[in-house]
Amino acid sequence: MDNALPALDGAFRALADPTRRAVVERLARGPASVSDLARPFEMALPSFLQHLRVLEETGLVSTRKAGRVRTCTLRMEPIAAVNQWLEAQRSLWATRLDQLDTLLLQMKDKDSPR
């Protein structure tokens, strides 16, 4: 079994939720405090913190505390791993579809009268 699979599973699980995807999208623009990240969402802070905890546990987000402010930063390594996996799937399916296209054209050529 590939060692990257558990990390990918966690990343996909974390990104399956729209709130967490929105947080990742926001952090792609740069670090932000927890309160700034929570502001756009209509949920209690403890509920938002649960989403943030999932992002931290999966390694997508890191936090640091300075005084009373907790700042979150997007970690690119898990994003790169997801992108690498998706690119491999895209390449695999592009090859398979090209092979299918070639086969269908060959079948068409055999069936067409000359």
DSSP string, 12-50: HHHHTSHHHHHHHHHHTT--EEHHHHHTTS-S-HHHHHH
| Residue 86 lies in domain | 4-111
Please state the φ and ψ torsions of residue 32, each to the nearest 5 degrees: -150, 155
pLDDT of residue 2 exceeding 60: no
**Each residue of 93-110: pLDDT tens digit?**
888 898 998 889 888 888
Better pLDDT: 39 or 3 = 39
- Looking at every residue in the chain, the average pLDDT score rounds to 91
User: What is the pLDDT at residue 114?
Assistant: 60
Of 2 and 10, the structure prediction assigns the larger pLDDT to 10
Task: Tell me what pLDDT residue 25 has.
Answer: 96
> Distance between CA atoms of 77 and 70, rounded to whole angstroms?
21
- In this predicted structure, what is the pLDDT of residue 50? 97
Look at the chain and report how many structural domains it folds into. 1
pLDDT band at 31 (very low <50, low <70, confident <90, very high): very high
CATH number of the domain within which 22 lies: 1.10.10.10
Mean pLDDT computed over 13-39: 97
Among residues of the chain, what percentage have pLDDT more than 90?
67
